[in-house]
Amino acid sequence: MKSVEEHLASCLRGIEVLSPIELQLLDAQGCVLAEDIVASTDLPVFDNSSMDGYAVHSVDVASASPTNPVLLPVVGDIPAGSSAMQRLAPGTAVRIMTGAPLPAGADAVVQVELTDGGVAKVSINGAVPAGRHVRRGGDDVLRGDVVLTTGTRLGPRQIGLLAAIGRDRVLARPKPRVVVLSTGSELVEPGSSAAGGQIWDSNSFLITTAAREAGAVAFRIGIVPDEPKQLLDTIEDQLIRADLVVTTGGVSVGAYDVVKEVMSRLGTVEFDRISMQPGMPQGRGVIGPDRTPIFTLPGNPVSAYVSFEVFVRPVIRQLLGAKTIYRPEVRAASLTGFSSPAGKRQFARGALGVEDGRYVVTPLDGQGSHRVRDLAYANSLIVVPEDVTEVPEGGTVKVMVLERRLT
């Protein structure tokens, strides 16, 4: 049997970050930037008003008060989007809207609430200091600033900044495309009726969404029966759009476990027994003309999911160029005692929480690798080393955190 470390190392070997491509902003969400972004403009691009009101020379309104208002002629209107008007003469005001360019000469904006709202003349009943309600050009970004650096993961706020400086596309590493299929002649689609030994395919939904959560573009191909020819044809059809293929089921030693048989015809795939629970039978290798990486995960849903978390998620993260490829780990006190198999690393489903400022974890009862309800309640995996057979109540354990939301 191979250790988890040995298998993980062979999974990651030869996996290289995908080459950058030009992406439209909306397609770049979740991708890693592959260039430094230099602003070709100031932001704000021009001095503008942060209020609806009147642009003035502040000295003209220095004496204004409710009992002693200042009356100024209104020489025009500047809506947002209009190009700046000519210089504002001293002793005059111009109506200005939020975001509209400030005319030269004006140094402050009197908000409309401090005025009578006049159109030809305006009565101003409060003073404003120079600079009031004015957003200065370049106070946010200066032309030539490096606003984002290579390696930054592009989320909504970064994409908003790119658009604000006028960029419509960027050089970024694309998301890996992951093709997911379930093998098993017993499988039927959720939503259809399952009779006589049939079960609903859950793995491909579990793994497709887990791959998306890891940052991939995942395609659920769905169910392929345990027929070598059909499996072979399906995988060959899908290779064209895959950076990675993930299958579940068919890797045990049963008479209809066809995955092993088919892989030898597609490429080089090694099948190993890994000293872990769940997830002992694992296959990995490369197939097709482009030597596309493939992972063949065991069929039990919990085994498939744990295998994905331990081996496939780091591979997806590495393809993405992510800064961190592993899940965060914490140490926690186990709220109940439990036993663990000798010679295997156990990944027990856990409910992780915080009590009195320290992490505590409750192992979930049903640890059988077919039990999907406890998997759904888990927010973490408790990692019990190979040489530990008993975790006592209150004992310290290592916990892989799957979700930020703790119990």
The CB-of-249 to Mg ion minimum distance in angstroms stands at 4
- The span of 13-21, 131-139, 293-301, 350-358 binding ligand AMP (CB under 6 A) equals 293-301
Tell me the backbone φ, ψ of residue 344, rounded to 5 degrees.
-130, 145
Rg (CA), the chain: 31
Residue 271, C-beta contacts closer than 8 angstroms, at least 6 positions apart: 251, 260, 281, 282, 283, 296
Q: Which does 20 bind (CB under 5 to 8 A by kind): Mg ion, ligand AMP, none?
A: none
Residue 271: CB minimum distance to ligand AMP, A: 12
Candidates 115, 238, 296, 300; binder of ligand AMP (CB under 6 A) is: 300
The least CB distance from residue 338 to ligand AMP, in Å, is 23
* Structure tokens, 98: 């939020």
The entry of Mg ion, ligand AMP, none that residue 203 binds, CB within 5 to 8 Å by partner kind: ligand AMP
Q: Is the dihedral of CA 161, 165, 168, 171 positive or negative?
A: negative
Binding residues for ligand AMP, rule CB under 6 A, total 19
Q: Closer to Mg ion at the Cβ: 248 or 346?
A: 248
Least distance (Å) from Mg ion to the CB of residue 224? 10
Contact yes or no for 325/309 (Cβ under 8 A) = no
Q: How far is CA 350 from CA 128, 297, 376, in A?
A: 61, 22, 10
One character per residue 177-216, x = contact with ligand AMP (rule: CB under 6 A): -----x-x-xx-----------x-xxxx------------
List the single partner that 252 binds among Mg ion, ligand AMP, none, CB under 5 to 8 Å by kind.
ligand AMP
Q: How far is the CB of 200 from ligand AMP (least distance, A)?
A: 7
Q: Residue 199: which of ligand AMP, Mg ion, none does it interact with, CB under 5 to 8 A by kind?
A: ligand AMP
- Ramachandran region of residue 131, left (φ > 0), alpha (ψ -120 to 50) or beta? left
Pick what 42 binds: Mg ion, ligand AMP, none; C-beta below 5 to 8 Å, kind-dependent: none
Enumerate residues 220-239 that contact ligand AMP by CB under 6 A. Answer: none
How far apart (Å, rounded) are the C-alpha atoms in residues 60 and 92? 8
407 binds ligand AMP (CB under 6 A): no
Give the interface with Mg ion as residue ranges (CB under 5 A): 184, 249-250, 299
* DSSP secondary structure, 280-330, as one string: -EEEEEEETTTTEEEEEE-SSHHHHHHHIIIIIHHHHHHHHT-S--S--EE
Nearer to Mg ion, 4 or 263 (CB): 263
| Least gap, CB of 189 to ligand AMP (angstroms) | 11
Which distant-in-sequence residues (6+ apart) come within 8 Å of 376 by Cβ? none
Q: Which is nearer to Mg ion, 31 or 306 (CB)?
A: 306
Q: Please state whether beta strands 281-287 and 146-148 pair in parallel, antiparallel, or not at all (unpaired).
A: unpaired
Are the C-beta atoms of 143 and 40 separated by less than 8 Å? yes
**Residue with smaller CB distance to ligand AMP, 71 or 199:** 199
Q: In terms of CB distance, is 100 or 263 closer to Mg ion? A: 263
Return the number of the residue (1 or 199) whose C-beta is nearest ligand AMP: 199
In this structure, what token pair is assigned to residue 372?
């999907």
Residues 6+ apart with CB under 8 A from 190: 200, 201, 202, 205
Q: Find the binding residues for ligand AMP in span 247-276 (CB under 6 A).
A: 248-252, 254
| Chain residue at closest Cβ approach to ligand AMP | 299
| CA dist., res. 363 & res. 47, Å (int) | 60
Residues that bind ligand AMP (CB under 6 A): 182, 184, 186-187, 199, 201-204, 248-252, 254, 298-301
